[in-house]
Amino acid sequence: MSTHTSQESKAAKTNNPDGFAPDQVKDVTNLLNATLADVFALYLKTKNFHWHMSGAHFRDYHLLLDEQAAQIFAITDDIAERVRKIGGTTLRSIGQIARLQRIADNDQEFVPARDMLIELHTDNMALVESLRSAHEVASRAGDYATTSLIETWIDEAERRAWFLFEATR
């Protein structure tokens, strides 16, 4: 049975076509998995606020948050597949997301619209900082494909934060 388990463990890992050292794969994988957990947390919070939006600007904010949530969710597969491409393994459960996420959930029964936007602005900026840290690690590893993807994700998060900031002025 231990041979079977060993074979399953090997099957879960991809070949390492880019030739990264095991410690580089581990470092990039750890940061990308934490980023993926944050992205899932931010997605769910954005949808939560989208679903519970109310007030004078309901329609505009409701549509804005739906658009932002779709953009956030769209990068989840890219992050996970990048982890697999470099030879790592990625998230497997909601529990693992909860353990790794750095963006806090918001379970409040009611949040005023402006507070929702301010909180999401703060969270998107926190994601930008996490992505910048991941970019540094990927860059040191010579993982140019990951750094290129991260640069796009940073730009998207900065744009979301900008829109949220402007909506609160």
Residue 11 pLDDT: 46
Q: Is residue 4 part of a domain?
A: no
Is residue 59 domain-resident?
A: yes
Residue 19 has a pLDDT of 81
CATH number of the domain to which 97 belongs: 1.20.1260.10
Residue found by looking up tokens 């353990």 in the block: 99
Examine residue 155 and state whether it is found in any structural domain, yes or no. yes
Q: Give the contacts of 17 (CB within 8 A, at least 6 positions apart).
A: 85
Alpha-carbon gap, residue 63 to 41, rounded angstroms: 19
Instruction: With respect to residue 10, please indicate whether it lies within any of the assigned structural domains.
Output: no
pTM value > 0.85: yes
Question: Domain for residue 123, yes or no?
Answer: yes
Residue 116 CB neighbour total at 10 angstroms:
26
| Total of domains in the chain | 1
pLDDT at 15: 56
Which domain does 145 fall in, by range?
Answer: 36-167
Helix residue spans in the chain (DSSP H): 2-12, 22-51, 58-74, 76-85, 94-100, 113-140, 144-167
Query: Residue 75: how many CB atoms within 10 A of its CB?
Result: 19
Per residue in 61-95, pLDDT (tens digit) is: 999 999 999 999 999 999 999 999 999 999 999 99
Residue 74 lies in a domain: yes
Residue 117 lies in a domain: yes
